[in-house]
Amino acid sequence: MKQSKLFYKTYKESIHSEDSLNAQLLIRGGFIEKVGSGLYNFLPLGLKVLEKIKRIIREELNKIGCQEISLINLHPIEYWQITKRIDKFDILFKTKSHNGIEYILAPTHEEIIFPLVKKIISSYKDLPLALYQINLKYRDELRAKAGLLRNREFLMKDLYSFHINDEDLEKFKSLVDKTYLKIFKLCGLRAILTLASGGTFSKFSTEFQVPTLSGEDEIYYCENCNQAWNKEIIKTSKCDHCKKKLDIIKSIEVGNTFNLGTKFSKDFELFYLDKFNKKKYVLAGCYGIGISRLLGAIVEVNNDKYGIVWPSNIAPFRAHLLLLQYSNKKINLKLIKLANKIYQFLTNNNIETLFDDRTDVSNGQKFVESDLIGIPYKVIIGESSLNEELEIKLRNNNKIFKVKINNLLKCLK
């Protein structure tokens, strides 16, 4: 992508309306734009990062046998009356059609997926079953805040699993827990598996908490066991396993996994027939990752004083090709030609490249913007490049090294 054509704008100064670091950096870097409280548009750079996160999630979930579907977001209200959650959730957006049908805007999808599964499965042979979607959610948060961390409309991956008994459900939940840790790691985050309250459904749920000073959660962490407890369920200040004293850490929740038991199966009469042809309730779990929130958390953790430092798997581009310009016009013409050649070469070799081809911007500004945007490798086309040698600058440690054009690909891979 040529930067002269890219739809974006960077801001040098901080954004008055934003109280969080993630929104500051994502708006200043041209990734998102604010529409209203808790409402953001995604610009091309932001969408590219979202798409990479989605791809990682899809790959890992498909590997453990999950199937992707897409559920409706306008929920006829009767489904929510059946589960009685209409009175318990205080974050519901409602709407009504001209002909009187009332809808809930999906804050979650149990009310839709259980009736769907009921239509399709009937026997123990149909289980286990794991279905997920990547879809919008709507929640009327009283105080939408913290940039992408708490929004009124946001992107979520929600997975639901269905089983013949609790043992099979818990086995699958453990597998999802492991998969989640892997997904977060691939996204450049160290998430801590944290035991939390299971709500009305079961004794415990699992949360995935990312340590950061800006987090709104507080967890009790055991360094020895690399596990934590949410403060709502903590009883002592020592680890359950090794008795070490726990550290209190601020953190952001980026995912959770729940054992739902038979709550919704009872509400919607979701049965299966066992081997002896006896009707039994299906056991179910649900597993969420807030994708736009995850993006916010990634930025909260991966940055320096110059801007965002994208983990390489989810960076919007791999290389940022910077064409420098000088007072000598002859040199400039040569550099433009060389930069275009290298841009072609990189894209032909599937290195996703943002090419800062602008000639009406100072070299200094190019570097400042590039640091703000945070692409892992800067490939610098300057005077010294005319000797077949390029400078590469790494975003994560600002180290510079020189590389022959012939070796460029090897170095970026």
* Residue of 320, 302, 321, 319 whose CA lies nearest to 310: 302
153 or 207: CB nearest a second copy: 153
DSSP letter at 15 equals P
* Residue of 319, 320, 311, 310 whose CA lies nearest to 370: 320
Q: How far is the CB of 191 from a second copy (least distance, A)?
A: 25
Q: Look at residue 363 and give its three-state secondary structure.
A: helix
Q: How far is the CB of 399 from a second copy (least distance, A)?
A: 32
120 or 213: CB nearest a second copy: 120
35 or 242: CB nearest a second copy: 35
Q: Are 380 and 363 in contact (CB under 8 A)?
A: no
111 or 217: CB nearest a second copy: 111
β-partners of residue 236 are none
Q: How far is the CB of 292 from a second copy (least distance, A)?
A: 10
Residues 6 or more apart whose CB falls under 8 angstroms from that of 303 comprise 21, 25, 309, 374
65 or 199: CB nearest a second copy: 65
Q: How far is the CB of 113 from a second copy (least distance, A)?
A: 8
Q: How far is the CB of 103 from a second copy (least distance, A)?
A: 8
Q: How far is the CB of 99 from a second copy (least distance, A)?
A: 7
Calpha distance 413→402 (Å, rounded): 16
- Residues interacting with a second copy, by CB under 8 A? 5-9, 33, 35-37, 39-44, 46-47, 50, 65, 67-76, 90, 93-99, 101, 103, 105, 112, 115-116, 119-120, 129, 131, 136, 138, 140, 142, 152-153
140 or 168: CB nearest a second copy: 140
Q: How far is the CB of 31 from a second copy (least distance, A)?
A: 11
Calpha distance 343→352 (Å, rounded): 10
* Residue of 398, 343, 350, 349 whose CA lies nearest to 376: 398
139 or 393: CB nearest a second copy: 139
Calpha distance 327→79 (Å, rounded): 69
Residues 6 or more apart whose CB falls under 8 angstroms from that of 356 comprise 3, 320, 321, 322, 323, 366, 369, 370
